Each structure stands twice: as C-alpha cells, then as structure tokens.
Structure 1
C-alpha cells in the first residue's frame, strides 16, 4: 500500500510517498481502507520537529481518517463494508496518510451519513477537541455566554457550531475578512481581534474556549465560577493556579480518541447542526503542499488529503 512517511525532521519536502506492507490486525481492531485524511496544525508541528511528539523519525504523521472497514479482528465492533471515521491512537503514531490503517474499533465511529468521506475526515481531531472542551469539560448548556478564539479556524469553526447546537450565546473572535463566514456558522457577535481589545468589550462570559494561548487575558472576561478551556496551555501550572486563585475553573484539553464523542458529533452533523468547512483537497502525493497550506495559518476550514 501507499503511505506517507518522513525520515527526518524538516519542511514539507520531507514527506514522501512510499510502498509499505498493509498493517496486521490485532484483536478488537479493524482494517480501514482510507478514503480521506485531514491535516491538522499538530501534524505540521510534529513533522518539523517543533513538537517532537513521536520521537525521532522515521514515522508517518496524521491522525484524522474516514474510510470503509475492509477486515475485522476478533471482537471488533464493526462489520466489513461499514463506513467509519476517527482519529485513532492520538497522541501516539497512527500513520493516517495511507491507503490502509489498522485501529482499535472503539476509537472509531460510524461516519455521518449526510456527508462524504472528505468532509468526515475533516472532523475527528478538531471536532473532538471542541466537544471535549465545551461539552465534557465545561458542560456548555442553553443560555451560556461563550467566547471562542480563532473562530474561523479548524477547531474554532466547529466550536462555534457545537456551542450553538447546545443553546449557547456565542461571541466569536476573528479577523474582519472572516466575519461573514463566522456569522454564517451561527455566531451571535463577531469581534475583530486585530482592531479591538476583546477584554474591553466583552464581559460576564460563562466559558472561554481558548485556542491561541491567551488564557491569562481571557480570564478577565469570565464570571466568577466560570470556565477557561484551553487547548494550547493545558499543561501550564502557573496559568492553572492563577485561574483557580481568581475563583474560576481551569479546563485543559488534550484531545483523545473517543467513539462516544464521535457518535454525538455525527448526530449533530446528520441533524444539520454541524458542518465541516473544507478549504482545500489534495491527493496523497501532495501531502507536502497540504502542510504548506495549513502552516500558512490563513485557511478557512480544513485541508484534506484524498487517498482514492
């Protein structure tokens, strides 16, 4: 099968397509014929060596997949031919930029029926990050005031929709050129963070969803007892101590595989309450170019590799 690996840290050019053996199945695992795999910022950081999560190369980066079950190990929870999606093994290597992947069946869920594989592959890591932060950690509910940083980004645009689906009032931070897009997702207020200091115009917030490591400043807009969700400063003892000393809750999120969360996300998609936005699709052989697009940091939505 074809798979993308890297033999050294470096720029996008270190990603290369090679021929490798199909993975062998263990008990409880399924072999998935991958149709699409999405790129996330963590993929770029791991590839470059900025975030040496997987140790030293060689390895394959990538986690998000959508595809079809082609074989099953003993005890697996899916049947051959079922469409599934997920982000198996994170934060360990999954080698997801490949034609096939073997993964524990309980780290996958059935693909939303109303979208295709490209759209489904765009969801797992980003949507689970938003779900685990907003729902599992913060318990977002109807009437909550939620401030979302980088609301047009891969995680942010899904966080806006998840918060709205739970009945929250969403205040979104995004650059001026992306305001119409963020409003189309359901945001109630959109603030241009480049020209406006949000701490001067926002107050009485129940939940801040911070994806830009701006937790210290975000603290000032939270009500007493409210929750700061942070996905970049989840291991920051100083920030955690500051948040708790102020009478607020600290919720650090390091996303993990979660079939129950994926099932809930699929329900929202099929109910028309959540839609992934695709910025670009490229073939497996252009994984390097896909990394360049994500690294630029100005895409709206997700970049996805097609593996067919």
Structure 2
C-alpha cells in the first residue's frame, strides 16, 4: 500500500516517487513513505531505472499478467547504491553498487522512486566498467535472454543460433551471450539495423528481403538452426518452427503467448521452451537464480563481452512519463533510462 505524505523533500522519512494512480492516466510525482529494509532485503538509493514495454502496459491497464495493483510505483529494472542491509543479508553492504530485476510487479515497489527495498536474492554487484545508466538497461532483457538460451536451450560452442529481432532489447543480449559460448550467430532485422547487428557479431538477415527457406538453405544447407530464439511472437514464432534443425533443434520464445500449430515443429522432431521472466517475483520461487544470472551478466560486461544498447535521450524522475510515451509509440532505439538521482 502506498502512503502519501505532504510534499517535503527535506523529510528523511519520505521520498519522491512517480506513481501510477489509476490505469491509463499519466504518472504523478508524489511524496511517499521511505521504506525500511526487512529480513533478506536491502534498501537502495536508486540512481537509475529503465522503462520496458511491460511497465507501460501496467500503467495503461493492459498488463494483467504482471499482477501489479494500482496505485503503484512502477519500474522493474533498478540500479543504485546500498544504503542498508536487512537481517540475514550477507552478500551486500552499505555503499555497494548493485543492480537487478527486482520490483514493479506482483505488488512489489518499483524503481521510479528515490529509494526502494528489494529482495537481496534478486540483486548482483553492478559491473564496475558500466555506468549506472547502462546497468539500468540490462536486467530484464539479460535475464530473459539467458533463461532461454542457456537454461532452456543449453547453447554451446559450434552451434548455429538464429535470433529473431537481433537489435531488440532481448535480441541483442541473446546475440552477445551466444557469441560468448562460441556459437555461430545469425540475426534477423530491418535494413537499418544491419550495421548494429553485425557490430555485435551476428550475420545479418533482412527478414523483409529473404524468405525462411532461402536463409535456412543458405546458412544451414536446409537442415535448420540448432537454436532459434524468437523475441517477437505471433507469426515469427510460427516461422521459427520451420527454421529449426531436424531432431536436435530447439525453439525458444519469450513471447509465445498466442495459439500456435505445433505440427511443423513435431514433423522436424524438434523441441520448444517458453520463457516467463516474471515468475520469481510473482511466486517467490527461483529468486536466487535471478541474482546468479545477474552475476553472470556482470562477469560478461567486465570482460568486455556484453554491452547494453541504451537510448541516448535523457529523462529525470519528474519526466519519466515522457519515456513511457515514447515506449508506447514504439520509437525508442535501445532501452530508455530514467536518471532518478540527478
């Protein structure tokens, strides 16, 4: 429950936050009670947040699967500095720089606020070579990519991996992770995305100019890709079933929410996995693994093998609604980041 207090920025028991009060209304800058870390939690001074399509769906009343009752502080990705650790927390201490996918759904406070209390199991130490802005852009997209590619499909060296939407939020993480495992990576996109897709190590496929049969024949001699990661859903997921390798191939989707005919997949003897990244926050199960995945993200980033794509435009807590509007209209290039601490 959000308890509002009179606006008073000097009061150390309160903080400013952007509140989604009712569905499909603009976010409102409000003073609310500052939380206190409980057992297994850390209190974070939030430096940066980011805006995902799901954040916007919750705000507009279209994200029922996130189970976030309004009014609420939104924002799933968070990065900041630990102010205090609650009882039982040994992994973090005051002044540690951390990040994670930690709030904004399932009744949990989000990151569009000056401070937040989050489950320590969901967090990891921020990469030392990345800015807070870059770190804020990573958690949701990286975890979604890792769960599908590593946990489900078990990517390994020598495989051919096809990524649908290689320049997208999840897609550019899938490409970079697959490359670190030694896979040969191919990624679909529009002509304007070719330079970026090739810059992160994938062979570019113009999905508008090339048919599935053409690129399957060209790059796999008609056998299909070992792993196909679909980040778009709908017809693209259906197409993925026709692009995967016979017998040993595996299709992964983070947007497999519609109705699909499995016959093409079955006739190839291939397998499928769905990814629902929100599960640990909604159920409390598997939260520690999300923290472990973010530890892997830190290792890759510090090794120079992972660079998040961040939109250059700047937003403050007070102008976060502008970022939501851009996401709603589909006009961002990379993750939109809100600088909470100015």
- Fold shared by both chains (TM-score > 0.5): yes
| 204, 210, 213: which one aligns with 2:230 | 210
Larger radius of gyration: 2
Q: Answer yes or no: is 1:22 the counterpart of 2:39.
A: no
TM-score of the aligned structures, taking structure 2 as reference length: 0.84
Cα 1:252/1:244, change in 2 over 3 Å: farther
Q: Runs of 4 or more off by more than 4 Å in structure 1?
A: 235-242
State the Cα distance separating 1:217 from its structure 2 match: 1.3
Q: Show structure 1 runs of 5+ residues with no match.
A: none
Q: Show structure 2 runs of 5+ residues with no match.
A: 1-14, 281-286
Cα contact 2:110–2:116 (8 A) shared by 1:
yes
Residue 198 of structure 2 aligns to a residue in which SS?
helix
| 159, 170, 178: which one aligns with 2:193 | 178
Q: Answer yes or no: is 1:57 the counterpart of 2:70.
A: yes
User: Aligned pairs, how many?
Assistant: 304
The residue that corresponds to 2:214 in the other structure is 200
Q: CA-to-partner distance for each residue in 1:42-93, whole Å, 9 max, x for gaps?
A: 1111111122223542122211011000011111121111110001147523
State the Cα distance separating 1:198 from its structure 2 match: 3.2
Cα 1:297/1:150, change in 2 over 3 Å: farther
- Alpha-carbon distance between aligned partners in 2 of 1:142 and 1:94, rounded to the nearest angstrom: 40
- Alpha-carbon distance between aligned partners in 2 of 1:127 and 1:65, rounded to the nearest angstrom: 13
Greater relative contact order (CA < 8 Å, ≥ 6 in sequence): 1
| 91, 100, 103: which one aligns with 2:118 | 103
- Alpha-carbon distance between aligned partners in 2 of 1:271 and 1:240, rounded to the nearest angstrom: 40
Q: Answer yes or no: is 1:36 the counterpart of 2:56.
A: no
1:1-308 equivalence runs, <5 A? 1-10=15-24, 14-52=26-64, 53-76=66-89, 77-89=91-103, 91-92=105-106, 93-187=108-202, 189-202=203-216, 203=220, 204-213=224-233, 214-224=236-246, 225-233=248-256, 235=257, 238=260, 243-244=265-266, 246-255=268-277, 256=280, 257=287, 258-279=290-311, 280-308=313-341
Cα 1:241/1:31, change in 2 over 3 Å: farther
Cα contact 1:244–1:250 (8 A) shared by 2:
no
Residue 94 of structure 2 aligns to a residue in which SS?
coil
TM-score of the aligned structures, taking structure 1 as reference length: 0.93
